[in-house]
Copies of this chain bind each other. A is one copy, B any other.
């Protein structure tokens, strides 16, 4: 496709917020300035685009946001953007500001929107993988995933204090939607007795077996990590099933919840977000469009959005194997 000259970039965050989104926005703004481009912030995602909630951004607007969780551009769901009329309004607003390219930071739904918008109006757009769930192909790690894993294990470290003081069995539910990435990392990182993820069936009988065998080995406290999207149910349901088989166990459940989405981004996520923010601007300058920028094997890679959002990224077989060996 012909290399159109880009002069004004719009940037928005969409979908669930993730730590590092602000770092990515900052990198987009600062690298755009570096290349003498103008940047416009679109507030509240596609919804703000339709409502023309758009503001020019300068370097000073992104000062002191690098280290903050959430997204200062805010995020929202937009029903209207799902309609052709909504998208037409959105396009008209972009044009009225002279914006000729988009950077969209978010998860698969957000990137799908960018893809659609590109197909219908030819707006070059680059997606950045911003989600704690790590469920996007085209990048080893999504922005926010590392921070969410740290948040999870820090919380579980605290729970372990209580678990071991009371010889209790804790079921801790972590986020991740349909993906078990956070759960597997948290499972290994917290020395869990077992880790239940959506990608793998673990019959309750096997879990009971594992717990009983650990009891024989005099392991008195146990933490079981449960991914929220599991097919056998969440932490609460599974704990009830287990309780039936192990009625004498002192069982507790904690659902970590939304605190996993927030917090100051980790060093890893700040670096990742910064590099991807620069890559988005440089990609647009070099004529990339309808792609997601990611990092695979330490190299910037641009993957067609259509391919990035196909959910075929899998929990590393070897990670799961290690989790199992270490929990015996």
Interface residues of A (CB under 8 A from B): 13, 16-17, 19, 26-27, 30-31, 33-34, 44, 59-60, 63-64, 66-71, 74-76, 140, 146, 149-162, 164-167, 170, 185-186, 188-191, 217-219, 252-264, 266-268, 270-271, 274-275, 278, 297-298, 300, 316, 318-319, 322, 325-326, 328
Known: A165-B17, A326-B31. Contact between A158 and B69, CB under 8 A?
Answer: yes
Which B residue's beta carbon lies closest to that of A74?
Answer: B165
Max chain B CB contacts within 10 Å: which of A150, A190, A219?
A150
CB contact between A258 and one of B69, B75, B254, B326 (< 8 Å): that residue: B254
CB contact between A185 and one of B60, B161, B271 (< 8 Å): that residue: B271
Stoichiometry, copies per complex: 4
Contact, CB under 8 Å: A164 / B274: no
Determine the chain B residues whose CB is within 8 A of the CB of A264 once the complex forms: 154, 157
Contact, CB under 8 Å: B328 / A162: no
Contact, CB under 8 Å: A159 / B271: no
Determine the chain B residues whose CB is within 8 A of the CB of A258 once the complex forms: 158-159, 162, 170, 252, 254
Contact, CB under 8 Å: B164 / A64: yes
Contact, CB under 8 Å: B17 / A166: yes
Cα separation A328 to B34 with both chains bound (whole Å): 7
Max chain B CB contacts within 10 Å: which of A76, A153, A170?
A153
Contact, CB under 8 Å: B162 / A262: yes
Extra pairs beyond A161-B262, A185-B271, A297-B298 (15, CB < 8 Å): A17-B165, A30-B325, A63-B219, A70-B165, A71-B165, A74-B166, A75-B165, A146-B267, A146-B268, A149-B268, A150-B266, A157-B263, A158-B259, A186-B267, A252-B257
Which B residue's beta carbon lies closest to that of A267?
Answer: B149
How many whole Å from A227's CB to the nearest CB in chain B?
15
Which B residue's beta carbon lies closest to that of A256?
Answer: B259
Contact, CB under 8 Å: A68 / B161: yes
Contact, CB under 8 Å: A162 / B261: yes
Contact, CB under 8 Å: B167 / A74: yes
* 25 sampled A-B residue pairs with Cβ under 8 A: A17-B162, A27-B326, A30-B325, A66-B189, A66-B191, A67-B157, A69-B161, A74-B166, A75-B165, A149-B267, A150-B267, A151-B158, A155-B259, A159-B258, A162-B261, A188-B274, A188-B275, A189-B271, A252-B258, A254-B255, A255-B255, A275-B319, A278-B325, A278-B326, A298-B316
How many whole Å from A318's CB to the nearest CB in chain B?
7
Which B residue's beta carbon lies closest to that of A44?
Answer: B167
Contact, CB under 8 Å: A76 / B319: no
